[in-house]
Each structure stands twice: as C-alpha cells, then as structure tokens.
Homo-oligomer: A and B are copies of this chain.
Amino acid sequence: MKFATLKSSSPDGRLVVVSRDGARAVYASGIAATMIDAVERWEQVSPALKVLYEQLNEGTAEGSFAFNPRDCAAPLPRTYQWCDASAFLNHGRLMEKAFNTDPIPDFETIPVMYQGASDDFLGPHDDVPLPDESLGIDFEGEFGVIVGRVPMGVSPHAAQEQVRLLVQINDWSLRKLGPREMATGFGFFQCKPSTSFAPLAITPDEIGPAWSEGRVKLNLHVEWNGEWFGHPNGAQMNYSFGELIAHAARTRKLSAGTVIGSGTVSNTERAVGSACIAERRVIEIIDQGEARTGFMRFGDTVRMVAQDAQGNTPFGVVDQRVVQSSV
C-alpha cells in the first residue's frame, strides 16, 4: 500500500491512499482520517485500507482524484517521536578521518542515534526556511521506517515486525553548529532544523526484494541545483532497521508513529557520490587536502528520489528550495 497526507486546515492533514503508479489518490476518511490514526490502529484499519488500495489500482474506488505531490505534507506532518541513527558506518568513518576526531566508542557494535524534533516535519516540496546562510546548510538523504507500538527491551527480530511503513527522508543539517553541540555531549539540537519527507509512505511489500535484511536496498539519487550529486544504495547500512528500533527501545517503549531514520546513505565506492555535502567535503579534504565544495545558499534546490532498476520511484520525489526565514 501507498499513503500520503494532503495538507489541510489540521496540522495532521488528511490521509489518502495513493495508487501503485502514483497517479491517483482517494481519501481514507471513512477508515482513518490521518496517518497517525492509521498507524495507531493499524491492525484494525489495514484490511479496509488494503481493499481501498486495490479498488484504487483497479480504477473502481469512488471519489478518486489525480494525485498531486505538491499538495502533500510529510506523510506524518508531526508525530510523537523521531529518532535518527547514523547506520552507514562508511559516512562516520570518513568524518572521523577528515576531522581527525576521536573515534566514536563502540561504533561497530552499538548504533549511534539522536533524538530529533518531531513537531514540525516539512513536505516534499515545501521551502526550507533557515535563519542564516553561514550556518553550513546541508541536505542528508536517508531512509526511514514508521513503527507500531514497540515494547521496552524488544529483540531486533521482533522489532522489525513492528515496521509498518517505509519513508524517504531529507534530514536538514546546519553543519557549522554541529561540532560545538557534539562537544557539549548533549548532542545535536540547533544543528537539526525541521526534517523533510518524500510524499509516499509505503508498506515494505511495495518494493519487493529491495526490502530485505531490514534494509531499503535502493539507490537514492540526489541532485543539487539540478546537477548529479550521488546515488548511494541503502544496502550497505551496517545495522538493520530491526537493530535500530531495538536500540531505541532498550530503556523505554516506543509509541506507534515513531519514525526511525537510517542516517545519511553512504557507500564505500567513491563513484556513487554522496547523499550530503559534508561527506563530499570530507572526501575532498582526504583526497585533495581541502574542502572545495561549499554549503547551500538561499535559493538553492535539492532533489532526492529512490529508484529501482526499472526506474520506479516508490516514495516519490523530494524537491526543495532553501529560503531565508522571515524573522
């Protein structure tokens, strides 16, 4: 199944079921008014959502209309918890090498994860208001999962059973603020403004074998101002989503609608490029002695789309512009 949230007068928007080809949509109102409602009552509502999805694909769903991703909020425009990992160790190792920082303790055996802000997610075509160009504006292409209720102390295997939906994420970062916040030990805060999402949240079966071992094994194509920036694949994630969920739930339960992110998709092969500017800069430092690529400027755009070998784009497209905030 494929879902999206259309913007409405409510901060939670309105849930629509979207056809497999992404062309048509229909309100799920009679079944679940919002995405958070659907995820919280998943066992109860998913059979009816499935029937509606099949009707939509067959062209028999009443009240269907053309789906326009520009009308979309994030699939969950806000939720109660957002936890973002850094599960592609290649990315972390590059960062350490370039900045000559102390290695993160237990990096190979315990996932690193920060608690993010979940009160204000941006939609796939929303402008991204930020206060200052000099803060090192960067995109980060990621995959993520939306989970059901997860009990404290869950095993990675049982945790993975709680994956309800897959999502594609653009985790905005302000790189100049990061090092100071890391040095406090309190972690990322101001360096992580509102996170953005591709329009479609999908059940794992929608990508067939590309969902395996708890990973989204698709290329994530990233363009900055219309130019190729990278297309790393999700297969090289060093921890599965099951392992990441279990990490998050070690000392507390997770509520339904919790979003768990993979961290920047990153591959060891240099030829596939990167999914964030910081990583390209780090590679420049290692290979050429200094960073040559700057960060984003107001007016710049970034486009991200996960694609399979047949050219299908199961999550739709993130295409955003950075603008100066009005305050």
Contacts and interface: CB of A to CB of B under 8 A. Distances in A.
Interface string A123-136: 00000011100010
Contact of A187 (B80, B114, B119, B129): B114
A79 B80 contact: yes
A251 B193 contact: yes
Tally of this chain's copies: 2
Contact of A327 (B11, B79, B152, B183): B152
Interface in A138-169: 151-154
B81 A325 contact: no
Contact of A184 (B79, B105, B129, B327): B105
A252 B153 contact: no
B112 A115 contact: no
A74 interface: no
Contacts of A11: 255
A191 B251 CA distance: 8
Interface range on chain A (Cβ under 8 Å from partner):
35 or more
Interface string A240-276: 0000000110111111011000000000000000000
A78 B80 contact: yes
A192 to B, nearest CB: 8
Given A78-B80, A129-B152, A184-B104, A189 B113 contact: yes
Given A78-B80, A129-B152, A117 B115 contact: yes
A180 interface: yes
Contacts of A56: none
B153 A250 contact: no
Nearest to A79: B80
Contacts of A154: 327
Contacts of A181: 185, 187
A88 to B, nearest CB: 14
Interface string A174-207: 1001001111111111111110000000000000
Contacts of A105: 180, 183-184
A252 B185 contact: no
B250 A115 contact: no
A152 B258 contact: no
A120 interface: yes
A191 B182 CA distance: 16
Given A78-B255, A115-B117, A187 B187 contact: yes
10 contacts: A79-B80, A106-B180, A113-B189, A151-B327, A152-B325, A181-B185, A182-B186, A192-B251, A194-B252, A194-B253
Given A81-B119, A104-B183, 18 more contacts: A104-B185, A105-B183, A112-B184, A114-B186, A115-B116, A115-B188, A119-B257, A120-B252, A129-B152, A135-B251, A151-B327, A153-B325, A174-B251, A181-B185, A182-B185, A185-B185, A193-B251, A193-B252
